[in-house]
Amino acid sequence: MTMTMTTTTTANDIARIFACQDGYQHRVRATSAEQRIAKLQALRAAVVAHLPAAVAAMAEDFGKPGFEAACEVAALLGEIDHATAHLAQWMQPVEVQPSASAAPGATARILREPKGQVLIFGPWNFPFALLLQPLVGAVAAGNVCVLKPSEFTPATSAVCARLIRTAFEEAEVAVVEGGPETAAALLELPFDHVFFTGSTQVGKLVMAAAARHLPSLTLELGGKSPAIVDSDVDLSQAAARIAWGKYMNAGQICLSPDYILVPAAQRDAFVAEVARYVQASFHAGGALNEADLSQIVNERNLRRLAGLIDDAVGRGARIALGGKVLASRRIEPTILVDVPRDAAIMREEIFGPIMPVLTYEDLDDAVNFVNGRDKPLALYVFSRRAAFVEAVLARTSSGGATVNDVIQHVAEPNLPFGGVGPSGLGSYHGYYSFLAFSHERSVYGQAAENPMEAFGRPPYAGKLEMLTSMIR
């Protein structure tokens, strides 16, 4: 396998790009809906042209199955198509009814104007879509943009750089490649908006560094997203849907169901159903079909995941399925049971193909366990009982939720996607991407005649008494 090395952009190049975009942003902000749609269509054409290269690059970087890589590209194209279909409407000023205290004839409206210079950090787990999906909103809103791909996926980073050069002038959209030192150099610059997708730990560093210039921020982070399974449920269907979300991309998904809570009486049946799904999905001729299972992105994360399994087993957990670390930098789809609630795997986001299956006695037990941890990016609840679903949603908090499935809320373009608290700040997708990269500017138009105008001006003699007599 050919290994691509990350290209590092120099500090001088970064300063030059920033200055160039600073001078160009005012031309871009004045573009019409038609002009921005043309830019999005150029981006779409470049994505389609680079599809084979993107799929090959993700396979090179971490063995991503071609089908999953193509799905990633398809999601990006869907985001572009949704934006081009609705952008003209999104850009229209929003007329607001002035309050009763306004002078007769006054007007109020909201203008969506671009924030200006935007910096987007992409993650390694979906290195193509999650770098370019935010760009769709940034371009739609009329911004100039610098993209920083992950250095952990250098082949995909290189494809993205070529793609962007095909679709945009550097003065409008540029790709800056490199490691942590490059990211630090970018955060020294006074961008107007910073968009980061990655871990909560690194998100805190980005937020602290960006605070020197007070840009607006979107932080798409993660956390331990639970799945709560009711006793009244189609157990086979629930297990298959949870397992699909857990083992896709080898669990390296911010929305992956991190741990599962099932009634104690149904645990073994649930584990058996997950094992049946794994056998049907990842085995052929009795052997694991490694081609359909992504690699762990690097040796450091592989060792971390192996350590989580060892720690849990050392504390009394049992491996009910899988558990082997393979020479190909893969981990078999794994199920852990009898996991102590203070094990390391229950304290940090797993981000790998390891499924702890915990039990609960009643709804209070399940809800209290979820609420005893940071607010997650997602929550999943499986039940045929509407009252059970609504009770879980009412008594917990998460960035988003899917009922009777996992991850699907992220695919609905009319819903905002984002976290809450430690799992993120702000949201995007569809219209919400356009808003994320726009400033909502309030515009008030005063009436020609304002009967209260003179009352509000000096001299104030006698006016205090009149004002206090009107306050009730």
% the chain with pLDDT above 90: 92
DSSP, collapsed to helix, strand or coil, labels residue 181 as: helix
Q: Is the pLDDT of residue 341 over 50?
A: yes
| 86 in a structural domain | yes
82-101 residue pLDDT tens: 999 999 999 999 999 999 88
pLDDT recorded at residue 3: 55
Chain Cα centroid distance, residue 269: 33
What is the per-residue pLDDT for 5? 61
On the question of pLDDT at 452 being above 90, the answer is no
Residue 1 has pLDDT above 50, yes or no: no
89 plus 181 within the same structural domain: yes
Q: What is the model's pTM?
A: 0.94
Query: Same structural domain for residues 288 and 143?
Result: no
Q: Can you give the pLDDT at residue 217?
A: 97
Which residue type is seen at 39? Answer: K
Asked if residue 159 is part of any domain, the answer here is: yes
**Average pLDDT estimate for 19-25:** 96
Give the structural domain span for 31.
Answer: 11-221+423-442
Residue with tokens 């059970």: 388
Q: Which residue type sits at 64? A: K
Is 471 a member of any domain? no
For position 17, which CATH number holds? 3.40.605.10
**Number of domains present in the structure of the chain:** 2
pLDDT digits (tens, 9 = 90+) for 223-246: 999 999 999 999 999 999 999 999
- Inside any domain, residue 4: no
Is pLDDT at 2 greater than 80 in this prediction? Answer: no
Q: What is the dihedral of CA 407, 300, 200, 307, to 10 degrees?
A: 80
Mean pLDDT of 108-115: 97
Catalytic residues: 220, 254
> What pLDDT shows up at residue 293?
95
d(CA 167, CA 169): 7
Query: In angstroms, rounded to a whole number, what is the distance separating the alpha carbons of residues 308 and 344?
Result: 6
Are 282 and 323 part of one and the same domain? yes
Report the CATH number at residue 370: 3.40.309.10
Q: What is the greatest pairwise CA distance in the chain? A: 94
pLDDT of residue 400: 97
Question: 470 in helix, strand or coil?
Answer: helix
Q: pLDDT per residue over 139-169, tens digit each?
A: 999 999 999 999 999 999 999 999 999 999 9
- Residue 354 φ/ψ region, left for φ over 0, alpha for ψ in the -120 to 50 degree band, beta for the rest: beta
Q: Which pLDDT does position 356 carry in this prediction?
A: 98
Pairing mode, strands 173-175 and 287-288: unpaired
Q: Is 371 helix (H, G, I), strand (E, B) or coil?
A: helix
Residues 332, 346: one domain?
A: yes
Confidence of residue 9 (pLDDT cuts 50, 70, 90): confident
CA distance 146 to 164: 10
In a domain, 454, yes or no: no
Together in a domain, 106 and 135? yes
125 and 37 share a domain?
Answer: yes
Q: How many residues does the chain have?
A: 472
**What's the distance, CA 253 to chain centroid?**
10
Taking 80 as the threshold, does the pLDDT of residue 408 lie above it?
yes
Average predicted confidence (pLDDT) for the chain: 95
Look at residue 29 and tell me if it is in a domain: yes
143 lies in the same domain as 21: yes
